[in-house]
Amino acid sequence: MVEDAIHGGRPAPLALMVRATDEPGSLHTLTRVIFEHGANITYVDIAERREDSSTIYFELEEHPTVDAEVLIGDIQALSIVRSVEQAPSFAKVYGKRIIVVGGGAQVGQVVVGAVAEADRHNIRGERISVDTIPLVGEENLAAAARAVARLPRAVALVLAGAMMGGDVARAVYEVREKGIIVLSLNMPGSVTKAADLVVSDPVQCGVMAVMAVAESARFDINRQRGRHY
């Protein structure tokens, strides 16, 4: 499930950065050429927008019938296109993402643990990123939790606050349904019931979040579900 969230167990994709005119229909024109080559787009985003142009980033599934050089030439030949470059894929550079949300004091300590542990796994060839946002208020926190399910490459969420419940807990159930692992600090509020795992110490919580998603850890979240540490 965690691997699926990255690139579906498929081979490393062809990654292209295309600088093109920023106008309605640009993406439609680019996707026509890619479709004509029979390539499946596994990831796309618009990385940079300037006055009159934008950089669109594509990852394409590798396929024996897709000739990368001819495809790049055909994209380059479009009148809306200024440049095409090959790039390493985000999955290769930044890998899986753990998202930490909550209060500044707690988020900072969770990240100290998570980054130190991710370092140990990344040295062994994994790619684990730790992303954060400090936020106040049930509505903001619930929106941030729900958005994790649609953040590219996100696999786990850590709730790092001193009181969270209500709509935040509902958001936790929703993202768990979509395959996101959720850890919570111990705190007042219903999120501790909604989370997969509750850890009181923030540094330890960050470490365990990384262990739960790392390939090179022997930590099985299924055996820890519902536990409090």
Among the listed ranges 68-76, 144-152, 186-194, 220-228, the one in contact with its own copies (CB under 8 A) is 144-152
Q: How far is the CB of 206 from its own copies (least distance, A)?
A: 9
- 149 belongs to the binding site for its own copies (CB under 8 A): yes
Query: What DSSP character marks residue 78?
Result: S
CB-nearer residue toward its own copies: 174 or 190:
174
Token digits for 67? 């000739």
- 176 belongs to the binding site for its own copies (CB under 8 A): no
- 53 belongs to the binding site for its own copies (CB under 8 A): no
d(CA 42, CA 27): 15
Sites for its own copies among residues 101-120 (CB under 8 A): 103-105, 107-109, 111-113, 115-120
Q: Are 169 and 191 in contact (CB under 8 A)?
A: yes
Distance of CA 148 to the CA centre of its chain: 8
CB-nearer residue toward its own copies: 75 or 146:
146
d(CA 102, CA 189): 13
Among the listed ranges 4-12, 72-80, 163-171, 220-228, the one in contact with its own copies (CB under 8 A) is 4-12
- 17 belongs to the binding site for its own copies (CB under 8 A): yes
Among 129, 184, 192, 224, binds its own copies (CB under 8 A): 129
Q: Would you say how long the chain is, in residues? A: 229
Query: What DSSP character marks residue 32?
Result: H
Among 79, 150, 177, 218, binds its own copies (CB under 8 A): 150
Q: Are 171 and 194 in contact (CB under 8 A)?
A: no
- 220 belongs to the binding site for its own copies (CB under 8 A): no
Query: What DSSP character marks residue 228?
Result: B
**Cβ-proximal residues to 3 (8 Å cutoff; 6+ apart), any chain:** 9, 215
CB-nearer residue toward its own copies: 27 or 68:
27
